[in-house]
Chain A
Amino acid sequence: MISLRNVRKTFPVPSAEFVALGGVDLEIGDNEFVTVVGPSGCGKTTLMNILAGLETPTSGQVLVDGAPVTGPGPDRGVIFQQYALFPWLTVRKNVEFGLREKGVPRAERTRIAEHFIELVGLERFADALPKTLSGGMKQRVAIARAYAVNPSILLMDEPFGAVDAMTRVRLQEQLLATWEQEKRTVLFITHDVDEAVFLANRVVVMAARPGRIDRIVDVRLPYPRTEQVRLSPEFAALRNRVWSAVHHQELVP
């Protein structure tokens, strides 16, 4: 359970201060899949960094299972847009990184890493270095690495932003398949309205200046989300709603 209560974040800028988040209230239930869309600069990454404990809010409360967030912790896994794999470690060692930090014994580490590498379909590349992988494969390693430490919450910042449209669709399906097998609370940031609707239980639409939640759209489409779902009129209707919420918000002051 994640609760954000009136979370504000301001950055000092030369003239005055810049309001990146101006009072965000949001509750996310256990095992919910929530996506966040919004125009560039509306504070999506800032919101995620605050939840991850990589940044502290200027004011307001951030609670995970009732306890305030004071820093990063293994209960919250983060998947960064730029993959952030350790380039000097093989896929396997990358996935084991967090387990080593937790003090998991070697045999157990190997077993867990193998499980998650298999889950994202990269067993053939377990001993490869990141530089030999494509962007989509790197992102799957990052997902396996985040999953391996067994966080109850996964925070993803535009994880598929840098891959081509076709790979992106495959990665979305894989992510959902992984999530349905290993349920977690997911906060998934994206620029892509289709992606936001396809993945989510709920879509949070943000607006800029100051960064805030514009509206929340419930997505009552069944899982597993198949191609049929993607091509259904219900999906199209939801996508249109979210699309206009994102793209017409500047017109409605």
Chain B
Amino acid sequence: MTVVEADTEVPTAAPSRGGRRRAVPQSALNVVSILAGIGGWWALSASGLDIPSPPVVLSRGIDLIKDGTLGGDILASVRRVLAGFLLGVLAAVPVGFLMGWYPPVRALIEPWIQFFRTIPPLALIPLAIVLMGIEETPKIFVIFLASFLSCVIATLQGVVSVDRTLINAARVLGARDHTIFARVVIPASSPFILVGMRIGLGSSWATLVAAELIAAQQGLGYRMQSAQLYYDLPTIFVGLISIGVLGLIMDRLLLLAERRLTSWQETR
């Protein structure tokens, strides 16, 4: 049946091989760097600078875990971030798609997005508190806004930069508008959306801490603020490290999802 001779063409080698070989020493370097950083911190506190040493911070961390404070704060903060972030993404993806697909929609919405982008979400906190009270709503709202604004721009960019040839290829294969949308535009722009989600998560985190500094009864930002009143540096350090570590974990999780969902891309 086959009319061609056996295939002698060799597929191009996967380009990531070299990177993987370097990966082991790189992660070792990462560990060395972290240890050196902690060592430097220790040395600074030992040299008389007014900061708590790592063991002091560690034992305060253990105390805070034991009495449940840290767990409660983390839970409160993560809940806010996730709620605001997810709502932001959920709103941004369809809006970004509509803007990218229908130029009039873009023309109607884009000025507002550009305008709100120039206002740091934190600057909206006073207004949000006045309008929405001091409960969860204003905090989640500003986080929502931060994540929405980063994600909507990325989605729009993704839709606009879909290769025309792929759309034409789908059209000549008989695809109509809605299937082109579902089977070409969405997958083609998914790398952009995932990058937008990562940026959005970063700004959600940044906004969260500030939102909690202003009005909260619980949460990592609130904990640091009240520790500041008592000059309680170890607790502030525990809060800072928790925020950093949690942000890093969430970012890595998204990165993992991104790698997995967009592994079909030619270059990375």
A: residues with CB less than 8 A from B are 52-54, 71-74, 76-78, 80, 82, 84-89, 97-98, 101-102, 118-122, 124-125, 128-134, 136-137, 145, 149, 167, 174, 177-178, 181
Contact = CB atoms under 8 A, between A and B. Distances in A.
Contact of A77 (B3, B11, B172): B172
Contacts of B187: 86, 88
Contacts of A174: 3-4
A89 B172 CA distance: 17
Interface string B250-268: 0000000000000011100
B173 A54 contact: no
B199 interface: no
A87 B172 contact: no
B174 interface: yes
Interface residues of B, number: 33
Contact of A72 (B4, B172, B179, B183): B172
Given A74-B174, A84-B166, A132-B11, 6 more contacts: A54-B168, A76-B172, A80-B168, A86-B183, A88-B188, A101-B174
A98 B12 contact: no
A86 B265 CA distance: 10
B213 interface: no
Given A82-B165, A97-B173, A119 B266 contact: no
Interface in B1-51: 1-7, 9-12, 14
A118 B264 contact: no
A74 B168 contact: no
Contacts of A136: 9
B128 interface: no
A101 B175 contact: yes
19 contacts: A52-B168, A53-B172, A54-B171, A54-B172, A76-B172, A80-B165, A84-B163, A88-B187, A98-B175, A101-B179, A102-B174, A130-B264, A131-B264, A132-B11, A132-B14, A134-B12, A137-B11, A145-B173, A174-B3
Nearest to B188: A88
A72 B9 contact: no
How would you classify the secondary structure of chain B's contact residues: helix, strand, loop or mixed? loop
Interface in B148-173: 163, 165-166, 168-173
A122 to B, nearest CB: 7
A98 B1 contact: no
B58 interface: no
B175 A167 contact: no
A86 B3 contact: no
A86 B170 CA distance: 9
B259 to A, nearest CB: 14
Contacts of B3: 119, 121, 174, 177-178, 181
A84 B7 contact: no
B11 A125 contact: yes
B169 A84 contact: yes
B184 interface: yes
Interface in B182-202: 183-184, 187-188, 190
A129 B264 contact: yes
A82 B167 CA distance: 13
Contact of B9 (A82, A87, A118, A137): A137
A131 B173 contact: no
A222 B237 CA distance: 84
Nearest to A176: B3
A178 B2 CA distance: 9
